[in-house]
Structure 1
Amino acid sequence: MSDARFVRVCALTDIPDEGALGVEVDDTPVALVRSEGEVYAVSDICSHAEVNLSEGEVEDGTIECWLHGSCFDLRSGKPINPPATRPIPTYPVKIDGENVLVSLDPKDA
């Protein structure tokens, strides 16, 4: 991850506790999610139906698609239940003071 290019995307306070914030990083939709005291960056597009995951519920390290109810693990991007069967990309996050930085270089799964 040392070669990753991180860009500032928001302030830490912009992301609600146990919630998500949709942003764009270099024209890529990204959901910044705060759950269980950690901040994650995942694709903001559900792998089942192309809707914004940032509009879904966050709970216990997962984000739920508001349209059909698929949940994704925030650490791995893997779907936990149907109808989604494909994982979503996850991205490296750094917290620098009050700034949240994201790299679009995918995490090693």
Structure 2
Amino acid sequence: MWVRVAMLEEIPVGSAKVFHIEGRAIALTRVGDQVFAFGDVCTHDGGPLAEGKLEGHVIQCPRHGARFDIRTGRVLRLPAVVPIPVYETKVEDNAVWVNPEPKEASR
């Protein structure tokens, strides 16, 4: 099931914006012409990932520096060891849609 979340111009480039979708805090960002969606909770200590530094496809938790790949959820730097959830997105007629069921994370 897909949920319409926002218009494309509402999704930031170079930072993330949090949307609440079916009870989940999901951060969305644009990198190039693609939209990415990931859980807004660091798996290390529950910190707000969307407030972290985004460089390309990597988000860094603002609390302790854990890093994650926003395409796969994979952990790239300790202290986190558990991947973050990532979600499928699609854009149709400038509307951004998110599948609220997480994709399988890569380790």
Scaled by the length of structure 2, what TM-score is found?
Answer: 0.91
Distance 2:32 2:53 in 1: 13
Paired residue type of 2:103:
K
Paired residue type of 1:34:
R
**1:19–1:35 contact (8 Å) kept in structure 2:** no
Q: Is structure 2 residue 68 aligned with structure 1 residue 65?
A: no
Runs of 4 or more above 4 Å deviation:
none
Gaps of 5+ in 1: none
Distance 1:45 1:36 in 2: 24
Percent of residue pairs bearing the same amino acid type: 37
Distance 2:66 2:93 in 1: 33
**1:63–1:71 contact (8 Å) kept in structure 2:** yes
Q: Is structure 2 residue 70 aligned with structure 1 residue 83?
A: no
Distance 2:23 2:51 in 1: 18
**1:35–1:59 contact (8 Å) kept in structure 2:** no
- Match in the other structure for 1:45: 41
Paired residue type of 1:93:
T
Paired residue type of 1:14:
E
SS in 2 for 1:13: helix
**1:36–1:61 contact (8 Å) kept in structure 2:** no
Distance 1:106 1:16 in 2: 21
Distance 1:24 1:15 in 2: 14
Gaps of 5+ in 2: none
Instruction: Identify which of 96, 99, 105 aligns with 2:101.
Output: 105
* 1:108 Cα deviation after fit: 3.5
SS in 1 for 2:18: strand
Q: Deviations over 1:7-49 (max 9, x none)?
A: 0111111121121111110110101122243211111111011
Q: How many pairs align?
A: 105
Scaled by the length of structure 1, what TM-score is found?
Answer: 0.89
Q: Is structure 2 residue 51 aligned with structure 1 residue 55?
A: yes
Q: Deviations over 1:27-82 (max 9, x none)?
A: 10101122243211111111011121111111121111111111100111011001
